[in-house]
């Protein structure tokens, strides 16, 4: 696929495990996500090895700090040559604008996390946020768009509303993807790949259904076939 919609989450604690899975996948069918656990264990060296294999990398470090610190971190991340970087929208307008200014538009995509897919209304109340997840996500997505970022991370349950409210020219990256009959595990706001695409998601972050499959590449190909039928 020219623009693979699947981002495989490399939720591993070692470079060896991540590279072993990467050997079973192909860049034309997916991109790869390197998150906090794997990046802490293996660092930029692993990111470079994965890119040398031809994969686009989503560096999922969710930067959330004072504006200057986030700006510098984004600049360093972009210099690695990764495809996508993210920050936390809850860092606020000044932080989002600093991150945007730090990365040349057209290089690494810059998106913002709205709410973690493990959070529900009770979790929001615990941290003093009033409203349901959909309302909070829309508010943060509008802020992100206003700061000229490329898109947001959101659950597929909010994607349909965001696509309607914010428009087509805004990237929606969706974690919390599960196949039918899969366990939810630690995710609360989840959906299937088919429903996520129908709801307007651009990219699907998929971990366990692919990484724990007996044949990860075959699973990736099957999911791509299902997605292709929906976006033609």
List the chain domain ranges. 6-231
Q: What is the DSSP string of 107-132?
A: SSEEEEE-S-TT--HHHHHHTT--S-
Q: Is the pLDDT of residue 126 over 90?
A: yes
Given pLDDT bands bounded at 50, 70 and 90, which one contains residue 116?
confident
- 75 catalytic, yes or no? no
Q: Which of 24, 49, 62, 75 is catalytic?
A: 62
- Report the Cα 214 to chain-centroid distance in Å: 24
How do residues 173-197 score in pLDDT, each as one tens digit? 998 887 755 554 544 445 788 889 9
Which residue, among 62, 52, 58, has the nearest Cα to 34 in the 3D structure? Answer: 58
Q: pLDDT over 90 for what percent of the chain? A: 77
| pLDDT tens, residue by residue, 127-176 | 999 888 889 999 999 999 999 999 999 988 889 999 999 999 999 999 88
Query: CA 100: distance to chain centroid?
Result: 17
Tell me what pLDDT residue 190 has. 56
What are φ and ψ of residue 41, in 5° steps?
Answer: -75, -40
The string of DSSP codes covering 189-218 is S-B-HHHHHHTT-SEEEE-HHHHTSSSHHH
* pLDDT given for residue 178 in this prediction: 72
| Tokens read off for 44 | 């930029």
The mean per-residue pLDDT over the stretch 19-40 comes to 97
Residues 6+ apart with CB under 8 A from 169: none
pLDDT band with cut points at 50, 70 and 90 for residue 119? confident
DSSP codes joined into one string, 88-105: EGGG-HHHHHHHHHHS-T
What was the pLDDT predicted at 232?
Answer: 59
Mean pLDDT lowest for which of 50-54, 104-108, 136-140? 104-108
Of residues 104 and 71, more confidence is placed in: 71
- CATH architecture of structural domain 6-231: Alpha-Beta Barrel (3.20)
Question: Is pLDDT larger for residue 119 or for residue 91?
Answer: 91
Q: Does residue 5 sit in helix, strand or coil?
A: coil
């Amino acid at each position: 696929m020219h623009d693979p919609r699947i981002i495989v989450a490399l939720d591993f604690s070692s470079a060896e495990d991540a590279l072993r899975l990467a050997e079973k996948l192909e860049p034309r069918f997916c991109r790869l996500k390197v998150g906090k656990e794997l990046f802490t264990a293996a660092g930029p060296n692993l990111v470079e090895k994965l890119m040398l294999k031809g994969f686009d990398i989503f560096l999922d470090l969710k930067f959330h700090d004072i504006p200057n610190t986030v700006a510098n971190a984004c600049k360093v991340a972009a210099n690695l040559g990764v495809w996508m970087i993210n920050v936390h929208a809850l860092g606020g307008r000044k932080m989002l604008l600093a991150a945007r200014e730090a990365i040349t538009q057209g290089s690494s995509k810059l998106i913002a996390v709205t709410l973690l897919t493990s959070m529900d209304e009770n979790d929001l109340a615990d941290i003093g946020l009033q409203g349901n997840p959909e309302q909070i996500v829309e508010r943060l997505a509008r802020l992100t768009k206003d700061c000229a970022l490329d898109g947001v991370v959101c659950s597929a349950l909010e994607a349909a509303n965001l696509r309607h409210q914010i428009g087509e020219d805004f990237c929606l990256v969706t974690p919390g993807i599960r196949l039918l009959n899969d366990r939810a595990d630690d995710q609360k706001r989840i959906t299937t790949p088919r429903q996520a695409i129908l709801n307007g998601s651009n990219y699907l972050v998929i971990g366990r259904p692919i990484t724990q499959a007996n044949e990860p590449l075959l699973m990736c190909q099957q999911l791509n076939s299902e997605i292709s039928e929906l976006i033609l």
